[in-house]
Amino acid sequence: MISFLPTGLGRLLMIIITYLVFNLVLLGEISWIT
């Protein structure tokens, strides 16, 4: 998937993307409930 990046950087990038998506989903659910 991210084969051109070093393994550490790719893993860090995946963690950051997952964290951002999780925050967006959480905020979306909160704002949808309220």
Instruction: Provide the token pair at 30.
Output: 């909160």
1-34 pLDDT, tens digit per residue, is: 555 667 788 888 899 999 999 999 888 887 776 6
- Residue 18's CB is within 10 A of a number of other CB atoms, namely 10
pTM: 0.55
d(CA 29, CA 34): 9
* Residue 2 and residue 10 in contact, taking contact as beta carbons nearer than 8 Å: yes
d(CA 12, CA 1): 14
* Residue 12 and residue 20 in contact, taking contact as beta carbons nearer than 8 Å: no
pLDDT number for residue 27? 85
pLDDT number for residue 18? 94
* Residue 24 and residue 32 in contact, taking contact as beta carbons nearer than 8 Å: no
pLDDT number for residue 8? 82
